[in-house]
Chains A and B, each alone.
Chain A
Amino acid sequence: MYKYTDFDAAFVAERNRQFRGQVDRRIDGSLTEDEFKPLRLMNGLYLQLHAYMLRVAIPYGTLSGRQMHKLADIADRWDKGYGHFTTRQNIQFNWPDLRDVPDMLDALAEVDMHAIQTSGNTIRNVTADHFAGAAADEIADPRPVAELIRQWSTDHPEFQFLPRKFKVAVTGSPNDRAVTRAHDIGLRILERDGEQGFEVIVGGGLGRTPMIGKVLRDFLPRADLLPYLEAIVSVYNLLGRRDNKYKARIKITVHENGLEDFGARVEDRFAQIREQFTGVDQQMLAGIESGFALPDFREASEAGYLDARQHYPALRSWADTNLAPHRIPGYAIVTISLKAHGATPGDATSAQMRLMADLAKRYGHDELRISHEQNVILPHVHKDDLASVYSALRAAGLGTANIGLISDIIACPGMDYCALATARSIPVAQEIATRFDELKLEHDVGPLKIKISGCINACGHHHVGHIGILGLDRAGVENYQITLGGDHTQSAHIGERAGPGFSAEEIVPAIERLVLAYLDLRTEPSETFLQTYRRLGLAPFKAALYPEAQADAA
């Protein structure tokens, strides 16, 4: 696994030392809140509704067992014994005291982790396909490139005060699991004439003005990556609007200036700076790549697993939903659901974190991944070990067989925690999952992505959910709008608003009507919700959502 260099360790230690001094000066009154706020945000510390929140980066979603253990220790010592995994492959601690945060950051540094650039108008934690390095459909592991971007963007002197935050995602697979088209820059590794390069997508994003990213270069040679990224961010840095926060993201810059104009400026800038990149970046990339070498896979029989499948229906059901094809025969990618029916999406207790870390160490080449869908992945498990892994997970409340199904819901923290939220999201997710578990329908319903945001900023990705739910404040009451037909994959699409919103009491029954209507409308069980929606459009689903309107019109 990739190890940070002494340079990284020294940088993080120095930053932590500075932040400790800044916290001391805030507490003794030398710094006002206005002075302190940008400093704490640069180090991932927010002030939320009920407490401070520390957002820790998990670059490209990759963790070792030792790192996961440290997160568990931090949760126990300085928080309330749990952590919340987010849609940006971060973990958030919801209850730290201000005085303890410097110690928490020092504890993170012991395992090469930090909270730098998890907030503020900088290039944020670089995300990647959570199956990276393991997926059968992968062209190349995106993580070496993501790590190169992390090193380039961390404390980049030109990009510490961008017009707005800036998010980069990378995938190395044609099946996009990193939502690259909803990022400021999305990178897809492609192969052309035996050479690897990148499709560079720019100006995607959700939030109040959702946009699907546009292709700026359909094939960028590999060696041009950093200078080209630097050119894009540099053009945005000058051209992006600073007069209006809501028009400051690069998606608006591209939209207002046009892709052609924006692209021409990028090419000009690229031509200017290309030769400054002498190839050192490529040498560094080669060094980084060696840190992502595949583990020593073992060969073993699958007979025991196949036999266990025959005898244990629960194992079979879990394996059918929670496993993905691995590049190495005999191996599987295990997704551990953090979506037990009725639980908070993305939360793991310290005991669960330790168990997952121990399973990774014992059965998974000591690797864990965090997905933007708020689950944890053991990327390399031999099928021979699946029965043991499953029984250990199940005993810890981590054996839910629901990956990709209706209860595998993305939900932002919403108004239960977030100071920006306009309504709650967690209880809606909990109630939908509980309801469909009672109905025993979710395996029959099949693949269905519900994504819930508690405000227009769309951390819960509602625009790209097959069913999206957006919580708003309508005249002092929580109100939930439904969007339909969104898609987060390579065929990314923004969902269509179904109609007037629903109250907190009405939203779960409305989702139930919608899903039952789908079961009636599909041509056969293999036609997914999204396929049915694409075939029929909004009308029949709208009829199910608003039966009164139908009755009135009749």
Chain B
Amino acid sequence: MPRTFSPKVVTANDLLKGDVIYQTATGWTRALSEAEVLTDEADADLRLIEASQQTGRVVGVYLADVTLVDGTPEPGHFREDFRARGPSNYAHGKQEAGTHV
């Protein structure tokens, strides 16, 4: 029996700002909730390759596990949770007002 493929998103850091971004069907977003969720392994591999070719826009592309809550992706691991939110000692990063697109 083939092993089940857990849902994923393509994520990276923005080349200029260095912050965490996620791939959408048409480009990139700074909000995990807006990311394109990949549920098929072959599709995910393809989207990862497409993302890694955008070297002028993004750095350090990889697939991150997500869990779907009412169809919206949420972090699958605590590291991804911090990446999606920002540091815990100051309300910096994505917690700052105005950074949510």
Contact = CB atoms under 8 A, between A and B. Distances in A.
A84 to B, nearest CB: 10
15 contacts: A27-B16, A33-B55, A47-B18, A48-B18, A51-B93, A80-B92, A95-B92, A96-B18, A98-B15, A98-B18, A415-B79, A416-B88, A426-B88, A427-B88, A427-B89
A50 interface: yes
Interface residues of B, number: 24
Size range of the interface on A?
20 to 34
A52 B18 contact: yes
Contacts, number: 71
Contacts of B98: none
Nearest to A477: B78
A348 to B, nearest CB: 13
B16 A417 contact: no
A97 interface: yes
Interface SS of chain B: helix, strand, loop or mixed? Answer: loop
B77 A47 contact: no
A47 B88 contact: no
Interface of A: 26-27, 29, 32-33, 47-52, 80, 94-99, 344, 415-417, 424, 426-427, 430, 473, 476-478
Given A99-B16, A416-B88, A416-B89, A50 B83 contact: yes
A73 B91 CA distance: 21
Nearest to A343: B89
Interface in B76-101: 77-79, 82-83, 86-90, 92-94
A92 B39 CA distance: 39
Given A29-B56, A477-B78, 18 more contacts: A27-B15, A33-B55, A33-B59, A47-B18, A49-B79, A50-B19, A50-B20, A50-B86, A50-B87, A50-B92, A52-B18, A80-B92, A98-B15, A344-B90, A415-B82, A416-B82, A424-B88, A427-B89
B16 A476 contact: no
A50 B89 contact: no
B87 A416 contact: yes
B11 to A, nearest CB: 11
A51 B82 contact: no
Contacts of B17: 51, 97-98
B63 to A, nearest CB: 16
A432 to B, nearest CB: 14
B24 interface: no
Contacts of A51: 17-19, 93
A140 B78 CA distance: 49
Contacts of A477: 78
